[in-house]
Amino acid sequence: MRFEELPTPSYVVDEPLLEKNLKILNGVIERTGCRIILAQKAYALYATYPMIARYLNGTAASGLYEARLGYEEMGKENHVFSPAYREDEIDEIISLCDHIIFNSFSQLEKFGDKVRQAGKQAGLRINPECSTQEGHGMYDPCSPGSRFGVTLEHFRPELLEGVSGLHFHTLCEQGADALAATLDAVEEKFGEWLPQMKWINFGGGHHITKEGYDIELLEDCIKRMQDRYGLLVYLEPGEAIALNAGFLVTTVLDTLKNGMDIAIVDTSASCHMPDVLEVPYTPPLIGSGAAGEKPYTYRLGGPTCLTGDIIGDYSFDRPLKNGDRLVFGDMAIYSMVKNNTFNGMALPAIAIRDKEGNCRIQRAFDYTDFKQRLS
Ligand SMILES: Cc1ncc(COP(=O)(O)O)c(C=O)c1O
């Protein structure tokens, strides 16, 4: 099937674009000897895991289900971090994962022995209290009162026996300069205990595959930890893996006016691209301009009841009409993994485009996907 023939709404992941990102990441692995794993919270289209497995070292999970998915579908290294594990899940998690990262010393005391007895590696998340992003409290694990990671004040070195690595995750869509600043804070606060560790995990939030990212500085940061402390360095980016590698194709259902031109499309910000409202941001729309840039400006909104279900204001060369197809960019990440069926909205199909430009529908959804979760 050609792209133009896909039903709407559909997410489309473009294999060559995905592979382009994977090659960049693999270059970092090859040149430095670090390990990079996929943070499945951002992207978990597991039909593409065989390709990802050719370039990366494994998966990172946020809990039992992602851990199981990584184990079943990637089958390489499988790391997990959760702010707190449940007693009724921890055994299964340990059986599925090789690295189990704890958020507190109390969790480590509770479950650490089980991890070690199973021959798996226990890690501890630290909080270097180094905010490198402004005005982004929602995405800053170092913000005051954050529940993520042990701060120096609460660090208990006497309990570190059996802990093989430290983990931090403090960045969000950031450059290597922010990582370098974070490493300064990590070394200043926790440097004393690094020599006794086997590995350090730099978390995610590294915009490695974005144009202009300073890969050389990233590699210097990795080498710094390798050379000074003999550590194996892990990175677990999500976004960077499928950045700009996917689309969401939609159709205009109606146009109307209320002080401005409005178009209703068959996809919803609230249901199908929740980050547009949560972050918030205006996703790229192929062939369009910013509001007022081209002759015809429209507000694009979804078919739900939510007044704020607005994707954004865009301008076009021609007036929009019913049946026009619009293609949003950068829709592989934090989209499929976060969507929902609020208002009984159908979930978009998931399609994959190969290097010849052929699309195959990997999964289509229907009424049962809505109904089965409700009773
Ligand atoms: C612990 C952890 N690791 C990795 C990631 C992936 O981050 P990103 O998709 O920004 O690279 C996140 C995102 O929230 C995270 O919380």
Nearest CA to ligand 1 atom 4: 204
205 lines ligand 1 (CB under 6 A): yes
Task: Pick from 36, 169, 244 the residue to mutate for probing ligand 1's pocket: most ligand atoms within 8 Å of its CB.
Answer: 169
Quickly count: other Cβ atoms within 10 Å of residue 157's Cβ: 11
In angstroms, what is the span from residue 335 Cα to ligand 1's centroid? Answer: 14
Q: What is the mean pLDDT of residues 249-271?
A: 98
User: How many angstroms does the Cα of residue 60 sit away from the middle of ligand 1?
Assistant: 9
- Whether 5 and 360 have beta carbons less than 8 Å apart is answered as no
Contact call for residues 352 and 15 (beta carbons, < 8 A): yes
Predicted TM-score (pTM) above 0.85: yes
Give the mean pLDDT of 299-306.
98
Instruction: Give first-to-last CA distance, the chain, whole Å.
Output: 36
Q: Is 245 helix (H, G, I), strand (E, B) or coil?
A: coil
Tell me how far apart the alpha carbons of residues 169 and 142 are, in angstroms, rounded to a whole number: 9
- 314 CA → ligand 1 middle, Å: 30
- The pLDDT value given to residue 134: 79
What is the spatial distance between Cα 45 and Cα 291, in angstroms, rounded to a whole number? 33
Would you state the pLDDT for residue 187? 98
| Interstrand relation of 77-81 and 99-102 (parallel, antiparallel or unpaired) | parallel
pLDDT tens digits for range 63-98: 999 999 999 999 999 999 999 999 999 999 999 999
What whole-number percentage of the chain has pLDDT above 70? 99
**DSSP summary character for residue 142:** T
Q: Where are the alpha helices (DSSP H) in 33-151?
A: 49-55, 64-73, 87-96, 105-117
> Average pLDDT of the chain?
97
Per-residue model confidence as pLDDT tens digits over 23-69: 999 999 999 999 999 999 999 999 999 999 999 999 999 999 999 99
Task: Determine the pLDDT at residue 138.
Answer: 85
* pLDDT for residue 213 is more than 80: yes
